[in-house]
Amino acid sequence: MQNLQPELVKKIESLLPPGCSAIKIEAEGPDIVIYLDKLDKFYAVDNPVKDIANGIKKKVVIRSAANALLPPDEATIKIKSLVQQDAGIADIRFCPEFHEVWVEAYKPGIVIGKGGSTLKEIIKTTGWAPRVLRTPTLPSEVVKGIRSTLLKEAETRKKFLNKTGKRIFTPQEKTSWVKITALGAFREVGRSCIFLQTSNDKIILDAGLRFEATDTSKEYPYVATLNMPFDEIDALCLSHSHLDHCGFIPYFFAMGYEGPIYCSPPSRDLMALLCFDYIKVMKRQGVDPLYEEKDVRKAILHCVPREMGEVTDITPEIKLTLHNAGHILGSSLVHLHISDGLHNFVYSGDLKYSHTKLLNPANCIFPRVETLLIESTYGGREDFHHPRPEAEQKLLKVVTDTIAAGGKALIPVFSVGRSQDIMLVFEEFMRKNPDKANFKVYIDGMVLEASAIHTVYPEYLKDNVQRMILSGKSPFESPIFEVVKGNRQEVIDGAPCVILAPSGMMTGGPSVEYFKQLANNPKNAIIFVGFNTNYSLGRKIQRGDKEVAIVGEDGRLDTLKVNLRVETAEGFSGHSDRRQLMAFVKNMRPKPSLVLVNHGEAKKCDDLAHALSRAMNIEARAPMNLDSIRLK
């Protein structure tokens, strides 16, 4: 059933090449899908898809009519004959609901062909619209599971997309006001959540958890204060997939939300990884999780992935564009263009405005900006990181000194982002200094799975890392790394080594288990390379506490003496420090007229807001949770 306005349909039909007529035109989420029966005539002209997309300012997808689809067996043979063997095709699967064929390959570029030539031949000769997917170079149960779920639930997903498309493309009266409400992560770190509202639309930006909160009422965003059913929310936008930004999202689906999640493709996969793990950890601790695995799977089905820089209609009058935030794989600055330019809002999520070994710096150029909401994890007056080369030098010196002394170096890391960045430091060190490659780097927890997901999306990584992955020499598969598969005690009792283990703040996970065993030996070392919140175990160790409380196997609190060497290698954080945050705002084009500060301890938020106001001569403030701010 057509779900578009007749005027838009007529315009699309007028843009079709001569001799082409559409069998059906419909919206699937923000995309316009055109079904044709004469693909030869359609592709007889140059760039027909681009011409239509430019004409209607929407993303356009072309599909064949159902009666033009070759039987899957015949189509498979044809596809294999069209694609060069060195593409490394791993699988070919068909999705009849979307008239698509999914081609998974180690070298997707060869499947695509120069200028998309091979893809055109596939759809012209088989009728099936090809969707090319990169095969991870490391085994990934998450990627495998997501792709299988999307195929298995294709019919459900299509109904959802058609319903969403109808909502997006139904005209409405223009709004005259815009406001946001702070639901979490204002004057604190954790449970990020922002509610953006116009007279017509209700949008949620991020929905995270706060694990180390001493008050259970502060673990979750203040969504109850919205006083409305969850199914009234039009869209949810995710900046990135750390649990303090995405961990509450499946709860929305458990409570009746049926709308879309807009995020980058890597953010969808990493959200699934971390939310499934959250459920396992809660159950292991004897705590009922907020939601079940079915809610995570439903969230996956409702994800509408968008590439960086791709302009997308998410309501009749709000356009979304994601830009690189430089924080972790797929992390995004969220730009919202509201009501034909009534207001332009940029939400930074977590950002890194400098180079790392893994990612490029955050983007700071936008078409229009009136309001910026920026994080301030390291926004305090004294928050200045050491230059990256110094950080790497210190890390490697502490590690090599510890190894030489016969000890083990524990590095608590976030599974996503910091782990891969630190792995690149060790890979480069060992590659350039083979004579010093006399120790193993063990990786535990979800680090391997997260690294595998990185190999699916090399285009989001720095050029040199991308080249290594594409050439079959992924740095994450270096022989210096060894996955802990069996008993951790074997690593603890074994030769001197490095251990990369989550969680980075030591709020749970393998890093705590290793610490219990290593803490009493002064030959060992623990090296912090990321942020620790005030009440986390990591912060207590980092600040020099000689005794810390640890939950024992019987569930009771035990006192653990800290005798190992405690070090912090500043400069590895995925967050910008004070100078970088100031530079980001200074270099923003255009300059915002209002800056709101969040995602930091209260004093850091205030410090950054005051500094921005003085230095940039713009209005800057640090709202509190539950504050509502009218932007227009």
3-class secondary structure, 505: coil
Which has the closest alpha carbon to 140: 481, 458, 453?
453
Contact 410, 516 (CB under 8 A): no
What is the enclosing helix (H) or strand (E) of 587? helix 578-587
What domains, with CATH codes, occur in the chain?
1-68+150-170 (3.30.300.230), 72-135 (3.30.300.20), 171-382+575-627 (3.60.15.10), 398-568 (3.40.50.10890)
Which has the closest alpha carbon to 507: 532, 552, 543, 537?
537
State the average pLDDT over residues 513-524: 93
- The strand pairing partners of 62, in sequence order, are 34
State the average pLDDT over residues 47-59: 94
Contact 80, 89 (CB under 8 A): yes
State the average pLDDT over residues 144-168: 97
- What confidence category does residue 530 fall into, taking pLDDT thresholds of 50, 70 and 90? confident
**What does the alpha-carbon distance between residue 193 and residue 204 come to, in Å, rounded to a whole number?**
7
- Tokens standing for residue 505: 């703040």
**For 462-494, what is each residue's pLDDT tens digit?**
999 999 999 989 999 999 999 998 789 999 999
Cis previous bond, 387, omega within 30: no
More confident residue, 272 or 535: 272
- What confidence category does residue 547 fall into, taking pLDDT thresholds of 50, 70 and 90? confident
Give the amino acid at 298: K
State the average pLDDT over residues 74-98: 96
pLDDT of residue 286: 86
3-class secondary structure, 346: strand
Average pLDDT value for the chain: 93
Which has the closest alpha carbon to 243: 276, 285, 216, 284?
276
Q: At what angle do helices 265-284 and 293-301 cross, to 10 degrees?
A: 170
pLDDT of residue 449: 94
Phi, psi of 621 (to 5 degrees): -150, 165
Q: At what angle do helices 447-456 and 265-284 cross, to 10 degrees?
A: 170
State the average pLDDT over residues 167-193: 96
Q: Is residue 51 exposed (0-12), middle (13-18) or buried (19+ Cβ within 10 Å)?
A: middle
- Tokens standing for residue 284: 């292991």
Beta strand 440-443 with 481-483: parallel, antiparallel or unpaired? parallel
3-class secondary structure, 237: strand
Report which listed range, 2-16, 207-221, 594-608, is most confident.
594-608
Least confident of 201-205, 213-217, 408-412, 416-420: 213-217
Q: CA torsion 311→108→239→412, rounded to 10°?
A: -160
pLDDT of residue 553: 62
Contact 60, 31 (CB under 8 A): yes
pLDDT of residue 559: 87
State the average pLDDT over residues 222-245: 95
Sheet holding 202-207, edge to edge: 303-305, 261-263, 235-237, 202-207, 193-198, 178-184, 628-630
pLDDT at 17 over 80: yes
pLDDT at 424 over 80: yes
pLDDT of residue 51: 94
pLDDT at 554 over 90: no
* Block residue for tokens 């008050």: 215
**What does the alpha-carbon distance between residue 110 and residue 119 come to, in Å, rounded to a whole number?**
10
**For 326-357, what is each residue's pLDDT tens digit?**
999 999 999 999 999 999 999 999 999 998 99
pLDDT of residue 35: 95
pLDDT at 459 over 70: yes
Contact 631, 220 (CB under 8 A): no
State the average pLDDT over residues 287-294: 94
**What does the alpha-carbon distance between residue 348 and residue 533 come to, in Å, rounded to a whole number?**
20
- What confidence category does residue 585 fall into, taking pLDDT thresholds of 50, 70 and 90? very high
Q: What letters, b where the CB count within 10 A reaches 16 and e where it falls short, cover 552-565?
A: eeeeeeeebebebb
State the average pLDDT over residues 139-153: 96
Output 511-517 pairs: Cβ under 8 A, ≥24 positions apart. Answer: 511/410, 511/412, 511/413, 511/445, 512/537, 512/550, 513/488, 514/410, 514/444, 514/488, 515/410, 515/412, 515/541, 515/560, 516/550, 516/560, 517/488, 517/489, 517/492
Which has the closest alpha carbon to 62: 35, 99, 26?
35
End-to-end alpha-carbon separation of the chain, Å? 38
3-class secondary structure, 246: helix
pLDDT at 229 over 80: yes
pLDDT of residue 507: 81
State the average pLDDT over residues 226-246: 96
More confident residue, 40 or 299: 299
pLDDT of residue 38: 82
pLDDT of residue 213: 61
pLDDT of residue 25: 95
pLDDT of residue 570: 84
Sheet holding 89-95, edge to edge: 89-95, 100-105, 129-134
pLDDT of residue 426: 94
**What does the alpha-carbon distance between residue 454 and residue 239 come to, in Å, rounded to a whole number?**
17
- What confidence category does residue 520 fall into, taking pLDDT thresholds of 50, 70 and 90? very high
Give the amino acid at 624: M
pLDDT of residue 3: 79
pLDDT of residue 555: 63
Q: Is residue 269 exposed (0-12), middle (13-18) or buried (19+ Cβ within 10 Å)?
A: buried
State the average pLDDT over residues 399-405: 94
Encode 68-125 in three state secondary structure: HCCCHHHHHHHHHHHCCHHHCEEEEEEEHHHCEEEEEECCHHHHHCHHHHHHHHHHHH
Phi, psi of 502 (to 5 degrees): -80, 160
